[in-house]
Structure 1
Amino acid sequence: MDNTARVLSGTPVVPGIGFGPVIRPAPRPVVPPEPVSIPDTAREAEVARFESAVADVAERLRVRSSRATGAAAEVLAATAMLAEDRAWRGAATTRIRSGSDAVSAATAATEQFAGIFEKMGGLQAERVTDLFDVRDRVISELEGLPEPGLELPEVPSVLFSDDLAPADTAGLDPTLVVAIATTLGGPTSHTAIIARQLGIPCVVAAGGLDAVPAGTSVLLDGSTGRIVIEPDKDEADAAVRNDRAERERTAAWTGPGATADGYPVDILANVQDGAGARAARETPAQGVGLFRTELCFLERETEPTVAEQADIYAEVFDAYAGRKVVVRTLDAGSDKPLRFANHPEEPNPALGVRGIRITSAAPGILERQLDAVAEAARRTGASPWVMAPMIATIGEAAEFAALVRERDLSPGVMVEIPAAALMADRLLEHVDFLSIGTNDLAQYTLAADRMSPQLAALTTSWQPAVLMLVAQTARAGAVVGKPVGVCGEAGADPLLACVLAGMGVTSLSCAASAVAPVGARLSTVTMDRCREAAEAVLNAVDAAEARSVANRILE
């Protein structure tokens, strides 16, 4: 096989080098081809057996969520909710009461809702992987089989898979699974986000993985998306050594964030709970640039009280006492529905009632959350910044800012919709800061589902159109002297971080594992070089050229 044929490519999402034999997830349970007919007298017992299996699976997922932190905790909690989804369970139990056995009923109900989710598209489509994972766990419970998932290898290995369920990704050991490549997924899929949190080099939307047998040696480069099949061992070992040396150099970086010539750029952490904030304190993060508050809402039958919320927020404020903490108000809807809110049925939830718009479905929820943030701030002596997600109009920004200022807090808004970037200067007449969420900004700018592997090249933050909106937003902040940060996954890319700094972005927030790599890379280049790279990428014709020219200038 020639050298060209021995290289596969995909979309790079987590930088780093991984070398080892290919491993694959264990086969999922086999569904019997024909349903078993259940007699009338046994159907209620079969329903009870199904409900018991669902409850056991959901409880195990909740326990794993409680032991995890960050994105892993959130997606495990969301998967537990999916297991107990009333509509899915109802569809299965209806089939059982019509005579189907529990395994066949769970399978049919899953296929029904998977079809619905796929037609919805957007973030909802990603739940198909989660739904099949729930189905397999429930079937294994019903059949008395071991819980499905990945058996950890005995030697450092590279994981190939069509896709990974959040419950599988969250349990990976980075010392044994040294790289991940998936056929499906996008730059902001659950697999990519959790891999980034764990610091595992990752490539998604890679073609040709199925043709590579388990046990084959591969070298994966998470910075370029290249996967070399059966590489020269000496060259692979050298690449691993260089990567290890780079990681050691990175680990030695202690902050604060600044370019080589001293221009400050705050390097902050994304967190979701007190445990995650305490873990982030072990890094050089100068504060919290994105405190996701969804976790305390997701698994609730009723809205958490102001006091309950305040306890959770206070944990994060205490972890970063005296430091900057940016709180994002509830970003529910779409792939994160609330049980206690009246979510409408939507043909395209990604363009529907989510983010700040959830206040229309749950009146008063925003005000009560702001009361809880204010209470936690009073209790801890913190001065948090508070921002709203999915702001689309000047009126929304002004109304939100007024509510925040009533509570003596500092207001800001997320720039995730092109409309917000285009009107950044007018938004800044009402708020104190802006924070750019590059994940959704890329999706909405390119009209491309960010979870689609076929569209992964479109939804990368390296797209020049996305970077033009980032640059415009940063310029608006510079004109009035107000900070503009990036808290989307773009901030976790060390190379892109330098480009963003060159555009005038004042802070970068990322997973805790990415704090040191981003800060270390930024410290090696001057601001003039960052500005040169920023200008070059804005003139690139596509994402690949943008990355290439930035790499050439900044290397």
Structure 2
Amino acid sequence: MEVQELVGVGIGTGIVVGPVLHASRQAAAAPTDAASTIGAEAELDRARTALAAVSQQLRERAEAADEATRDVLEAQALMTEDPALLDGVEAGLASGVTAEKAVADAFAEFAALLADAGEYFAERAADLHDLSDRAVAVLQGRSTDLVVDPGHPYVLVARDLAPADTAVLDLDRVLAFVTSEGGPTSHTAILARQRGIVALVGAGGVESLPDGTQVIVDAERGRVFVDPDAAELADAEARIAAREAEASAPAGPGALADGTPVKLLANLGKPGEAKGAVEMGAEGVGLFRTEFLFLDSADAPTVEEQTESYREVLEAFPGKRVVVRLLDAGADKPLAFLSPGEEENPALGKRGLRALRASEQVLQDQLTALAAADAATDAELWVMAPMVATVEETRFVTRAIHEAGIPVAGVMVEIPSVALIADRVLAQTDFASIGTNDLTQYTMAADRQLGSVAALQDPWHPAVLRLVSEVGAAGAASGKPVGVCGEAAADPLLAVVLAGLGVTSLSMSPTALSDVRVSLARYSMDDARAIAHAALAASEAADAREAARAAADTTTAGKIPA
């Protein structure tokens, strides 16, 4: 009998076998238009209490969550406290409905307004629906928690997973995530990459599988095999064993099959993450985000405070490259002492280098601290500026970095203008690092924090890949390094494409290093260029992904065991 297959977007190259378990909550009736029996004032008190309870729960979970989840949960808590939301609830109650109905309608209206106005908020559409569900659940006196405790490892199946859900899961028992919605930049996908969990997103039909159904989740093939036969199970077990052997082998430097080096680096958000990155085989740091020092502070940290934190990171990588990104404030990372305040569209406003140029003392203090940390350690410090748009900006920041005594200066390629004149930009600086998350956002005019346009936020889109190829070609012509430090670098197949486009280093969450290292080692540079060419020739992101997979499968080294 032919094994049923469900198709989705795989995260990583992992493969697992296990039983399905659906993420579920206590059932509840949807709010109705039934009239309130207690009056608008009493209903408003109920709504306030429910929203406060949800906010408190989110903040409590944020305290114990990983950094990425914590940021999202804190942003969601702020949303439940937004006076505009409560105004919407109060307006709804004027029609005589219950608090449940008014809250649900206010969230729905708020989400629609945000999508229409294009405002910049750190949450996705699925998260908005989750907040609404949680508030209504409190009003109805039911639990907001997922009911997931089978007592054994399982494949977690859901429509999508909200950050507040994943924050309380026992991830040691989760073999894989499989969602029917979401894409490669969804919270589920990001969490899976960070924690090294096998995942498949956008797998339509998976929610119809009964609990206990045996499945193979194959991220590399982008497939869920339902009730697999003996042959499929044997193949899966053989590939799992092979992956375990590869993972346990000593982590050498990143390279293609013909020996072409592709340096594999780690993305870090705070000094304490350095030790784990070293243990996972990082050859250095390709992106150290310095915002951790500045968040939740009314004043900029002192030079001494900054120096100590930078030194901690540099000391963990003696003799190795550590790329530090200058403060990227603005948009979703507002800072009281630096951000410009209210802007119509902060994603296109005074963020990154633009904000630093408006407050040059903050920039000078940061460069002074970095230079001091560099002088006290043996790491190879590289410093780059975010949100560079012009050659003039490139000259300015490169000169500032060099004058501070730091020999290697670079710029991030996040704005299409810089990619299109990469030859002129690289003539003025020492290296370029492509931030694919923002580059995709600005290329596709799709705010990467808005769920309503999440489908467009895909670095596989040929328009994005073409911009990457422009930067890669400019780097090769000038003999200057070109890295990628966005989410794209953690995709094992896309990593091969990027190498084929001229990228010389890849930086990612440390848990993704092993899969990417193995994937690169399968292909020669000629293979990588052919795979990249196939992706570039496609018209849509999904087509580019499939074309790359088909091209990879035609190479002897690239064939996935059948």
Cα deviation for residue 127 of structure 1 reads 3.1
Conservation of the 8 A alpha-carbon contact between 1:290 and 1:325: yes
User: 1:427, 1:306 → 2: CA distance?
Assistant: 30
TM-score of the pair, normalised by structure 2: 0.83
User: 2:501, 2:235 → 1: CA distance?
Assistant: 35
Conservation of the 8 A alpha-carbon contact between 1:47 and 1:93: no
Amino acid at match of 1:313: Y
Indicate the percent of aligned positions where both proteins have the same amino acid.
43
Match of 2:8 in 1: 10
Amino acid at match of 1:163: D
Q: Note the 1:405-444 alignment, pairs <5 A.
A: 405-409=402-406, 410-444=408-442
Query: Which residue, 547, 550, 554 being the options, matches 1:548?
Result: 550
Cα deviation for residue 516 of structure 1 reads 1.7
Larger mean CA deviation between 353-362 and 99-108 belongs to: 99-108
Larger mean CA deviation between 466-475 and 336-345 belongs to: 336-345
Matched, 1:60 2:33: no
Match of 1:266 in 2: 263
Residue 404 to residue 52, structure 1, CA distance change in 2 (3 Å): same
Residue 359 to residue 117, structure 1, CA distance change in 2 (3 Å): farther
Cα deviation for residue 501 of structure 1 reads 2.4
User: 2:439, 2:297 → 1: CA distance?
Assistant: 29
User: 2:423, 2:226 → 1: CA distance?
Assistant: 50
Q: Note the 1:513-552 alignment, pairs <5 A.
A: 513-540=511-538, 542-543=543-544, 544-552=546-554
Query: Which residue, 303, 309, 312 being the options, matches 2:309?
Result: 312
Cα deviation for residue 327 of structure 1 reads 1.4
Larger mean CA deviation between 404-413 and 190-199 belongs to: 404-413
Unaligned runs of 5+ in 2: none
Over the residues paired in the alignment, what is the CA RMSD in angstroms? 3.7
Match of 2:476 in 1: 478
Match of 1:212 in 2: 209
Amino acid at match of 2:291: E
Matched, 1:83 2:81: no
SS in 2 for 1:384: strand
- After superposition, the C-alpha distances for 1:491-525 in whole angstroms (9 at most, x for unaligned) are 22223323322333211111111112222332343
Residue 520 to residue 11, structure 1, CA distance change in 2 (3 Å): closer
Residue 139 to residue 446, structure 1, CA distance change in 2 (3 Å): closer
User: 1:153, 1:343 → 2: CA distance?
Assistant: 48
Q: Note the 1:290-309 alignment, pairs <5 A.
A: 290-300=287-297, 303-309=300-306
Larger mean CA deviation between 253-262 and 454-463 belongs to: 454-463
- After superposition, the C-alpha distances for 1:395-429 in whole angstroms (9 at most, x for unaligned) are 22222223322322232111122221111111112
User: 1:50, 1:350 → 2: CA distance?
Assistant: 32
User: 1:174, 1:293 → 2: CA distance?
Assistant: 28
- After superposition, the C-alpha distances for 1:288-332 in whole angstroms (9 at most, x for unaligned) are 111123334444455545444444333322322332111123334
Match of 2:193 in 1: 196
Matched, 1:178 2:175: yes
Matched, 1:282 2:284: no
User: 1:239, 1:512 → 2: CA distance?
Assistant: 25
SS in 1 for 2:279: coil
- After superposition, the C-alpha distances for 1:316-368 in whole angstroms (9 at most, x for unaligned) are 2232233211112333444444466344243x554444433444787754444
Matched, 1:385 2:378: no
Matched, 1:25 2:32: no
SS in 2 for 1:261: coil
Larger mean CA deviation between 56-65 and 406-415 belongs to: 56-65
Match of 1:487 in 2: 485
Residue 392 to residue 38, structure 1, CA distance change in 2 (3 Å): same
Larger mean CA deviation between 298-307 and 226-235 belongs to: 298-307
Conservation of the 8 A alpha-carbon contact between 2:303 and 2:368: yes
SS in 2 for 1:405: helix
Cα deviation for residue 287 of structure 1 reads 0.5
Conservation of the 8 A alpha-carbon contact between 1:14 and 1:203: no
User: 1:376, 1:142 → 2: CA distance?
Assistant: 53
Q: Note the 1:129-144 alignment, pairs <5 A.
A: 129-134=126-131
User: 1:306, 1:29 → 2: CA distance?
Assistant: 54
Q: Note the 1:387-402 alignment, pairs <5 A.
A: 387-402=384-399
SS in 1 for 2:18: strand
Conservation of the 8 A alpha-carbon contact between 2:483 and 2:506: yes
Conservation of the 8 A alpha-carbon contact between 2:419 and 2:467: yes
Amino acid at match of 2:549: R
Q: Note the 1:116-155 alignment, pairs <5 A.
A: 116-121=113-118, 124=121, 126-134=123-131, 148-149=145-146, 151-155=148-152
Larger mean CA deviation between 31-40 and 157-166 belongs to: 31-40
Q: Note the 1:103-114 alignment, pairs <5 A.
A: 107=104, 109-114=106-111
Cα deviation for residue 378 of structure 1 reads 4.4
Larger mean CA deviation between 431-440 and 541-550 belongs to: 541-550
Larger mean CA deviation between 360-369 and 11-20 belongs to: 360-369
Larger mean CA deviation between 79-88 and 450-459 belongs to: 450-459
Amino acid at match of 2:173: L
Conservation of the 8 A alpha-carbon contact between 2:8 and 2:201: yes
Conservation of the 8 A alpha-carbon contact between 2:50 and 2:138: no
Cα deviation for residue 253 of structure 1 reads 3.9
Cα deviation for residue 269 of structure 1 reads 0.9
SS in 2 for 1:294: helix
Amino acid at match of 2:53: A
User: 2:101, 2:306 → 1: CA distance?
Assistant: 41
